[in-house]
Structure 1
Amino acid sequence: MSDWSGVSEFVAVSETESFTAAGKRLGISTAQVSRQITALEARLAAKLFYRTTRKVSLTDVGRVYYQHCRQVMDGLEEAERAISNLQSSPRGRLRITAPVTYGERTIAPLVNDFALKYPELEVQLHLSNQKIDLVEEGFDLAVRLGKLEDSSMMAKRLSGRTQYVCAAPEYLAAQGVPHSLSELEHHNCLVGTLEFWRFQEAGKPRSIRVRGNLSCNSGQALADAARKGLGLVQLPDYYVQRHLDSGELVSVLDHFNEQDDGIWALYPHNRHLSPKVRLLVDYLAEQLA
């Protein structure tokens, strides 16, 4: 009978070109990946990788071996999906990533409820504002906000969000209410990670570079600064909606709000038939609609 030891490690290193990244994908140490690859090369009596301090690449023999192993791994994944489809309850590990604040406020509670519905799942939720490579890091699903970049990932729209430009009533009383985008240059604009704000004018997207005496990479901090009358801010609804409802903040320039600023579920093509991923995507779409 064939010995399969080291094959999953070999495939992971081949696809990530890194022993460290392969270990992260598989949830094991870099040293364990290295030991398995060394043992596999000894068993095959063949060198599978060229190793340098900066890069790992396949040899010609390794490339041939990878093509066969990848077919086998794809077959195993398809077999597992077929079995999972027969199960009444999804099981196994489900890795999800989402932005920090939106994840804490909205996604995490929904994922927790989903985990209660399906207790045989091992759910791992990773909150980060970094754009994680889902394939390299081994994630099943990402929640992304705003306009999507070109990607090989599959995407499903979960919901929408509105970007509001708003300020405290006392700021507007003192500095005036802007009615056109050109007036923003006369206002103190509280800046986040980007130095421009996005709008829609005459049916076309438009970006306006803004300036102010305060910048911060935290939406919550910027919302607090706006509430205290420091200036105008542009933030998504989940940062400011309750302050708008209470009257602590007032929305301006609403007729320039950008349309279709979505909230999306992204997942690799080989996950689209997975029952656990499909169930979670459908659940999030239903709850966020």
Structure 2
Amino acid sequence: MNSRPDFAAIEAFARVAETGSFRAAALALSAPVSTVSVQVSRLERRLGARLLERTTRRVRLTEEGREYLEKVRAGLDALTEAERVVSSRGSEARGRLRVAAPVEFGQAVFGRVLGRYAKECPGVAVEVELVSERVDPVRDGFDVVIEVEPCDSASLVARKLGAPSRRRLVASADYLARHGVPAHPRELSRHTCLVMGTRREAATWRFTRGGTKLSIVHRHATANSWALLRDLTVAGCGICCLPDYLAAPAISEGKVEEVLAAYVMPAEQMYAVYPRSQHVPTRLSTFVAALRDFLEVWPGCLPKPPPRT
């Protein structure tokens, strides 16, 4: 006997047993009578037992049929309930959502976003892991990963989150008083530049002004933490290029000043990356939408371009 259950045949048998008629069962299943009859006969052959006594007037369960119906009815009810639960979750945000994001970005953003999301979707249990290295949502078991430069993979979907975030070149007033304020990117060669990364990585700051592009390569001190670089900048250790979600608060609090503001630096685009699937769970789509909506109006992001007229 094939070890895999024939669920269509089992359901056909159960409907015939419940209605007492092949015709009534066929109507309930929206199938031809002949199909229902073939399915029940196939099930009897598979089991090696007669489940129904057929007469010209009625259909009656055999002893084996009554015992089999009693056993399979609970399974069919469980399958029906499982479909109901999963189907309801398809339209309602429920379940566990595992999220990974860069440490400093998560610290700056997630407190506000998750507070709102918890009120809108109380049925979702969000598990956040802040990471300092690239992670893969499939390999590492995350529902969604927030990152700046998503890898190009056919198995993943990358959705833009809001508008790009600016970068700003900043330094403390104390540092600028001691070393002077640079008037041109080339003057950075005379300053202590605090750079994200390691000594093994390239360190290039790119500037644009009036269509002219400049690339300045300088490295005087490095760290692999944006928060540490911000703190070093506030402490007067040098000039640093910070993402605006770290630079803007420090500027507004008077801890640092922007330098070379007339020169535009490349913006960072954040992405939500998740496994490609035909059906995206509601808990995931609502979370991505909440994060995207927040970043659309976040002060650290560039304004949307005006509509074309």
Give TM class, smaller chain.
0.5 to 0.7
- Pairwise CA RMSD of aligned residues? 2.8
> Structure 1-normalised TM-score?
0.64
CA distance in 2, matches of 1:262, 1:210: 24
Amino acid at match of 1:216: A
Q: Please point out which of 282, 288, 291 is paired with 1:275.
A: 282
Residue-by-residue CA offset, 1:205-234 (whole Å, 9 max, x unaligned) = 75432122x432222222222222221111
CA distance in 2, matches of 1:196, 1:181: 14
1:198 and 1:205 in contact (8 A); partners too: no
1:131 maps onto 2:134 in alignment = yes
* Partner in structure 1 of residue 4 of structure 2: 2
Q: CA deviation at 1:80?
A: 9.4
1:167 maps onto 2:174 in alignment = no
Q: CA deviation at 1:251?
A: 0.7
Number of residues of Structure 1 aligned to a counterpart in Structure 2: 211
1:256 maps onto 2:263 in alignment = yes
Amino acid at match of 2:167: Q
Amino acid at match of 2:229: L
CA distance in 2, matches of 1:253, 1:219: 20
1:90 maps onto 2:93 in alignment = yes
Aligned residue runs from structure 1 range 1-20, under 5 A: 2=4
Q: 1:138 to 1:234 in 2, by over 3 A?
A: same
CA distance in 2, matches of 1:282, 1:253: 35
Amino acid at match of 2:179: Q
1:227 and 1:248 in contact (8 A); partners too: yes
CA distance in 1, matches of 2:283, 2:186: 49
* Partner in structure 2 of residue 192 of structure 1: 196
Structure 2's unaligned 5+ residue stretches are 6-82, 297-309
Q: 1:222 to 1:272 in 2, by over 3 A?
A: farther
CA distance in 1, matches of 2:188, 2:231: 20
CA distance in 1, matches of 2:130, 2:84: 28
CA distance in 2, matches of 1:266, 1:80: 29
1:81 and 1:274 in contact (8 A); partners too: no
Aligned residue runs from structure 1 range 40-51, under 5 A: none
Amino acid at match of 1:210: H
CA distance in 2, matches of 1:271, 1:230: 51
> Structure 2-normalised TM-score?
0.60
Q: 1:175 to 1:103 in 2, by over 3 A?
A: same
1:199 and 1:256 in contact (8 A); partners too: no
CA distance in 2, matches of 1:130, 1:229: 28
CA distance in 1, matches of 2:153, 2:113: 26
Structure 1's unaligned 5+ residue stretches are 4-78
Q: Which has the higher helix share?
A: 1
Residue-by-residue CA offset, 1:103-128 (whole Å, 9 max, x unaligned) = 12212442343234323223221111
CA distance in 2, matches of 1:204, 1:151: 34
Identity, % of aligned positions: 28
Residue-by-residue CA offset, 1:250-288 (whole Å, 9 max, x unaligned) = 111223333442122112211763222111111111122
1:211 maps onto 2:219 in alignment = yes
3-state SS in 2 of match to 1:93: strand
Q: 1:237 to 1:211 in 2, by over 3 A?
A: same
3-state SS in 2 of match to 1:126: strand
CA distance in 1, matches of 2:102, 2:165: 14
1:143 maps onto 2:146 in alignment = yes
Amino acid at match of 1:165: L
Q: 1:240 to 1:80 in 2, by over 3 A?
A: farther
* Partner in structure 1 of residue 227 of structure 2: 220
Larger Rg: 1 or 2? 2
2:159 and 2:273 in contact (8 A); partners too: yes
Q: Please point out which of 237, 251, 270 is paired with 1:230.
A: 237
